[in-house]
Amino acid sequence: MSLSGDYLDLDHKNIDKLMANRLRLAILAALHNSDETDFASLKNAVRATDGNLSVQLKLLREAGFILVNKTPSGGREQTYMALSDKGRMAILNWKRVVNGWFA
C-alpha cells in the first residue's frame, strides 16, 4: 500500500493532545464504561499512584473532559469523577480517527 494517495488521512492532529497520554486515555476509558466512579476505584482500575492520578485528573477537568464532584463522607471528602459530554465526544472522535487509520 502506498502512503502517497490522498484517500488515507493519517494526520495525528485529528486527535486531541490530551488523548496521547496512556494514563489519561485509560482514565477516559474507565469513565466511559461507568456513570460515575470514586477516586480509589479509578486509581485501582488504571493502576496509578495517587499523585499521578491527581495530576492527570486535573488536566482532564481543566480541559472540560471530566466532571469532578466532592462530597462529604464520614468527616472526609469523597471525590467522584464522571465523563462530561465534551469528554465523551473526544473519545468518540478518537475511536473514529484511530479506526480509520487501521481500516
What is the residue-level pLDDT of the chain in tens, covering all 103 positions?
555 555 667 777 878 888 889 999 999 999 999 989 999 999 999 999 999 999 999 999 999 999 999 998 888 899 999 999 999 999 999 999 888 888 7
Which grid coordinates are listed for 26? 485509560
Domain ranges within the chain, ordered by starting residue:
17-93
DSSP bridge pairs for 70: 79
Which grid coordinates are listed for 60? 482532564
Q: What is the pTM of this model?
A: 0.84
Which grid coordinates are listed for 19? 488523548
Topology (CATH) of 17-93: Arc Repressor Mutant, subunit A (1.10.10)
